[in-house]
Amino acid sequence: MKAIPQPRPGGIVRFGKRKAKRDDRNLMFAALLKAPPVLPAEYDFDVAHQGIPTPMFGNDQYGDCVIAGRAHQTLRFEKAEQNKLIAISDNDVLHEYFGETGGADSGLVVLDSLKEWRSKGWLAAKRRYRIRAFAQIDQGKRSEVKRAVFMDIGLGLGFTLPDAALTQYYAGKPWVVVSGKAGQPNPKNGHYVYVPGYTRSGPVCVTWGRKQQMSWAFLVKYCDEAYAIIDAIDTAKKKRALDAGKLDAFLSALRNRKPASSKQTVAHKRAVSKKP
């Protein structure tokens, strides 16, 4: 990609999460958990580490929410790792976004983008950052969501939002489930957010330039993919709660996994096509 395309006019908020992709080979977050920690009723990384900004990162003009969410998480990773705020720019986010889309403002598949982040990393604040792993979370299990947040891993959530979520956002109100047509998941409203906290009411995400509270019921109804994204198991919280041996074993098996050869792929397609 040579240049960032001109933004679409009239930007306020943009969507950019494409339809969720499933992969039964994904590492499951629950498989990595050791003895559960005592979870506080409420927790927010941004309260424990004050001064973290919530930039829009271009998501008012482009459908780059997947990479904007990545940028918000990278800010927090490096605040914990380096004890400083790194200077991630809109251009960092947009160059990665359009690099992954091939130059079109087409949105991204979350799972594909996470694999890019793990394998190649991304360039932010003049340095390349790569995650160690990501693990799928059962968003219907409140304890898994809380544990990912409290362990300072945080999580990325993909939504098919209802139209009511926009009305609530513009009014400065929490995301809650409503009845009627406005409360139905809208396939056009695919969105990705990063979650650094939770309250008694539900998760608190970073999106569209600010923090946004949602209810637990909203999470269950509209979230269609959830991932814990692991930078490194190098803090006391993570060492106590995550099984590093199981993670290493999974990553080793992943590296040794051989992709199907072109001949095997063609043979498989032919065999499938011949089935009645």
In this structure, which amino acid lies at residue 159?
F
**Residue 9 banded pLDDT, cuts 50, 70, 90:** confident
This prediction has a pTM of 0.90
- Is 43-230 CATH 3.90.550.10? no
pLDDT computed for residue 258 by the predictor: 61
- Exposed, middle or buried by CB within 10 Å (0-12, 13-18, 19+), for 182? middle
pLDDT computed for residue 176 by the predictor: 98
pLDDT computed for residue 1 by the predictor: 57
Stretch 35-57: mean pLDDT? 92
- Residue whose C-alpha is closest to residue 152's, from 73, 215, 210: 73
In the predicted model, is pLDDT for residue 70 greater than 50? yes
- Residue whose C-alpha is closest to residue 114's, from 223, 205, 194, 59: 194
Q: 192 CB contacts (<8 Å, ≥6 apart)?
A: 16, 17, 65, 66, 68, 69, 110, 156, 157, 158, 159
In the predicted model, is pLDDT for residue 275 greater than 90? no
In the predicted model, is pLDDT for residue 167 greater than 70? yes
- CA pair distance 242, 84, nearest whole angstrom: 25
Write out pLDDT tens, residues 85-118. Answer: 999 999 999 999 999 999 999 999 999 999 999 9
User: How close are the terminal C-alpha atoms of the chain, in Å?
Assistant: 44
pLDDT computed for residue 38 by the predictor: 86
Domain boundaries, the chain: 43-230
Stretch 138-149: mean pLDDT? 96
In the predicted model, is pLDDT for residue 8 greater than 90? no
**b/e map 255-275, b = 16+ CB within 10 Å:** eeeeeeeeeeeeeeeeeeeee
DSSP letters along 29-97, please? Answer: GGGGB-SPP---S-EEHHHHSTT-----TTTTTSS-HHHHHHHHHHHHHHHHHHSS-----HHHHHHHH
In the predicted model, is pLDDT for residue 268 greater than 60? no
Q: Which residue has the tokens 């004890």?
A: 83
pLDDT above 70 covers a percentage of the chain that reads: 92
Write out pLDDT tens, residues 191-202. Answer: 999 999 999 999
Q: Please give the radius of gyration of the chain, using alpha carbons only, rounded to the nearest integer.
A: 19
pLDDT computed for residue 108 by the predictor: 98
Q: 36 CB contacts (<8 Å, ≥6 apart)?
A: 143, 147, 241
Task: Name 123's bridge partners.
Answer: 128
